[in-house]
Amino acid sequence: MTHSTSLPVVVITGASAGIGAAAARRFARGGYRVALAARRRERLEALAAELHNLGAEALVLPTDVSDPAQVARLADAVLQTWGYVDVLINNAGLGRFARLEALDPVDDIQRQIQVNLTGAIWVTRAFLPAMRARKRGVIINVSSVAGWVGLPLYTVYSATKFGLRGFTEALRREVARDGIRVVGLYPGPVTTEFGQQAFKDPADRPRAASWPGVALRAEDVADALWDLAHHPRRGVVQPWWMAPLVWLNAHLNRLGDWILSRTMLRSS
Ligand code: NJP
């Protein structure tokens, strides 16, 4: 069933908190119908009520992106309700930061890979045919600066975010002639629940992440997502001043090794 009015539709994974919730508010204010996907139903329902008060349509779709059956149900529900999707934001993710041997093989390692990387791939695959049929759509993958720069304690997280960047680059070329744009967003630290939960030992949290001017607000990232949805380009590192650091890391690798191995780890 397709509704007669064709308001644009955005699907946001990880919409129950942080960046995803801020993006949902941003797109609702901008006149979008918003499909909210994450595991915590109560949070999604509270957010949907808020979006309805803004005059927006919102769908609550409890989904674990690491379960392919739930991902298929998510796509079916959106497409049966609204019939199409304009923007897909693959934002669901988690970090588990510690020395590799302190990470649990399943709860920390496998879960990060399944949510941050496999989940984003499955969700994209589920919505791609609908975008291809309309010859339009924007897919934005929320990676990280850690998808460019490998950081001590972030080994598996960096692997997932490098992987998501590789997926983004390859898919962009695969669908370029189908009218679909594939974009990467690479934020630095953002003040959300993510940072509170990510360090297995909170004493490992880098002090720099809380310096004034370093951490972004979820609303800053939501503004970048809005901008990328309407002016899609290859990718954006946020805040802008981290882009030269990414460049330096790629071109002066030994300096990057020296600095990061000394600044990110407490002496053990
Ligand atoms: O994190 P948080 P952010 N299936 O913890 C959802 C990246 N990033 O907003 O399922 C479906 O507030 C979870 O929902 P729920 C980061 O890697 C962050 O900061 O209900 N959803 C919640 O809505 C991630 O990709 C920083 O628990 C699942 C959301 O994910 C994205 O930004 C820096 C799920 C997490 O909300 C959003 O993170 C950076 C599952 N299996 C990149 N598991 C940063 N914050 O510093 C979790 O560079 N979610």
The pLDDT score that the predictor gives to residue 4 is 45
Query: CA end-to-end span of the chain, whole Å?
Result: 60
3-class DSSP state of 238: strand
Burial 18-44 (b: 16+ CB within 10 A, else e): bbbbbbbbbbbeeebbbbbbbbeeebb
For 176, the token pair is 């370029």
CATH topology of domain 9-263: Rossmann fold (3.40.50)
The set of protein residues with a Cβ atom below 6 angstroms from ligand 1 is 13-20, 38-40, 43, 63-66, 91-95, 115-116, 142, 144-146, 187-190, 192-195
For the CA of 161, the closest atom of ligand 1 is 17
Q: Give pLDDT tens digits along the chain (268 positions).
A: 444 468 999 999 999 999 999 999 999 999 999 999 999 999 999 999 999 999 999 999 999 999 999 999 999 999 999 999 999 999 999 999 999 999 999 999 999 999 999 999 999 999 999 999 999 999 999 999 999 999 999 999 999 999 999 999 999 999 999 999 999 999 999 999 998 889 888 888 776 666 667 899 999 999 999 999 999 999 999 999 999 999 999 998 888 888 888 887 765 5
The pLDDT score that the predictor gives to residue 93 is 98
The structure tokens 């304690």 sit at 153
Ligand 1 mean position, distance from CA 177 (Å): 31
For the CA of 15, the closest atom of ligand 1 is 23
Question: What does the domain layout of the chain look like in residue ranges?
Answer: 9-263
Ligand 1 mean position, distance from CA 182 (Å): 20
Catalytic status, residue 157:
yes
The pLDDT score that the predictor gives to residue 211 is 64
Q: Which among 32, 84, 154, 157 is annotated as catalytic?
A: 157
The pLDDT score that the predictor gives to residue 3 is 47
Take atom 45 of ligand 1 and give the residue whose Cα is closest: 190
Take atom 13 of ligand 1 and give the residue whose Cα is closest: 14
Task: Please list the residues that pair with 34 across neighbouring strands.
Answer: 10, 58
Ligand 1 mean position, distance from CA 10 (Å): 17
Sign of the CA dihedral 264, 66, 121, 13? negative
Query: What's the pTM value of the predicted model, to 2 decimals?
Result: 0.95
The pLDDT score that the predictor gives to residue 253 is 85
Task: Please list the residues that pair with 9 across neighbouring strands.
Answer: 33
83 contacts: CB under 8 Å, gap ≥ 6: 1, 2, 3
The pLDDT score that the predictor gives to residue 57 is 98
CA distances from 74 to 24, 59, 77, 195 (A): 16, 10, 5, 27
Mutate to test the pocket of ligand 1, among 70, 94, 162 (most ligand atoms within 8 A of CB): 94
Take atom 42 of ligand 1 and give the residue whose Cα is closest: 144
Sheet with strand 137-142: strands edge to edge: 58-62, 33-38, 9-13, 87-90, 137-142, 180-187, 235-238
